[in-house]
Structure 1
């Protein structure tokens, strides 16, 4: 991918394995063929907004399911897990009609809201909360902390590794999301990076050097996020608490 981004389309099709000198030309052609900065901004806002919203909503739900445990919550959790079996294509049309009826087409919120609460993230936080020391909760309550203060001042700092794992999963899914943004974002200035890459390969003639450069730029944020948080990601997926 990196090598192809520096070569011409002819070199890419010829399977050239050595870096070329066409990187600047490919970048200028990419800027001429698409609104790169707008797509980067749209993807960044959607990915960051989705990640922050999902971490807050899903962690509160997972915390509530486990810390305030009851049989009724177990049944509700079973319903949420069953929802994971429903393919997104089955809910896409009702979602589109819902957002159209409230005038939210072509808005970032229409992409962010459906993704801020997922059964997988709720289950992840619920399972991690099983290892949370309840003695800390009791001590905090005796000290007079409210339940909200306990969550934000004790639970969140203690569960850093789980939040990191959830952040990596959510950011990568939101950044790479293609189908729903393609359906709900109808204007050209609402393109995200996966949509931009798709458009570059949809013409009669594809410049593969430019296409591979766009793919490289699209891949960099998720690669950086994962590399920065990989240790916390591994610890969070195994339920570690620090």
Structure 2
């Protein structure tokens, strides 16, 4: 009975793995085929890879889009990690009367849909002259209630004895944060960096609104424009999707161990 149950579990896991990996396999095979072959459901590797890549480079500013996406994701991630970790650290370490109320208001902001603030944000950035800039994409997401909450919850497991020892040694509050808290919480920062990088990299709606020229488009916007054309070339679209997906996969697999530790709240 135990062996049958084990076989059923392994069979289910194998099927789930196949279902999860099949879209990626189909995407990789599709980038080597023509659009008509993809429509027909061909699952064999073709010889159209170089043609699809050249066509993609001809009809899009792929290099500029990749640089724009990378710049937004890297700068945005660094700013978010610094600001949100400082906020989460402050909410948990320092005790004040209005802290819980302020944090409650912060959590309530998570319930507000983006559509409700989209027009006011657009008008604000328009009046500030920041439309069609990477700054307009980065600023609204630099501090999020979720990421502040994430750091606050993980700070609960931070050993306070380290802070007390640092104060005894004469360290100031800034030194305590950057020299003790940050190095100790590396797994938490790794998990937060992956989540934040992917959010910036895959961001679509807000960049679509504020980035108005072709040379400022990010990769998700390029993929969307290819897919929304009157006669989409699916082989070219598959190439663009693969290029868009690779950076997030590389970062995740490089930081996979730290990501798991961070999500579990482990502190070494």
CA displacement at 1:153 relative to structure 2 = 0.5
Paired residues for 1:185-200 under 5 Å: 185-200=211-226
Secondary structure at the aligned position of 1:46 is classed as helix
What is the CA deviation profile of residues 68-113 of structure 1, one whole-angstrom value per residue up to 9, with x for unaligned ones? 0334111111111110011111111111111111110111111001
Secondary structure at the aligned position of 1:6 is classed as coil
- Equivalent in the alignment of 1:174: 200
- Equivalent in the alignment of 1:224: 250
**Unaligned 5+ runs, structure 2:** 1-26
CA displacement at 1:237 relative to structure 2 = 1.1
**1:82 lines up with 2:146 in the alignment:** no
**1:104 lines up with 2:130 in the alignment:** yes
**1:154 lines up with 2:183 in the alignment:** no
**Unaligned 5+ runs, structure 1:** none
Distance 1:238 1:124 in 2: 11
Distance 1:54 1:203 in 2: 35
Rg (Cα) greater in structure: 2
Secondary structure at the aligned position of 2:31 is classed as helix
Distance 2:99 2:257 in 1: 32
Q: State how many pairs are aligned.
A: 242
Stretches (4+) displaced over 3 A: none
Match of 1:95 among 118, 121, 127: 121
- Equivalent in the alignment of 1:129: 155
- Equivalent in the alignment of 1:142: 168
Match of 2:81 among 31, 34, 55: 55
**1:184 lines up with 2:171 in the alignment:** no
CA displacement at 1:192 relative to structure 2 = 0.3
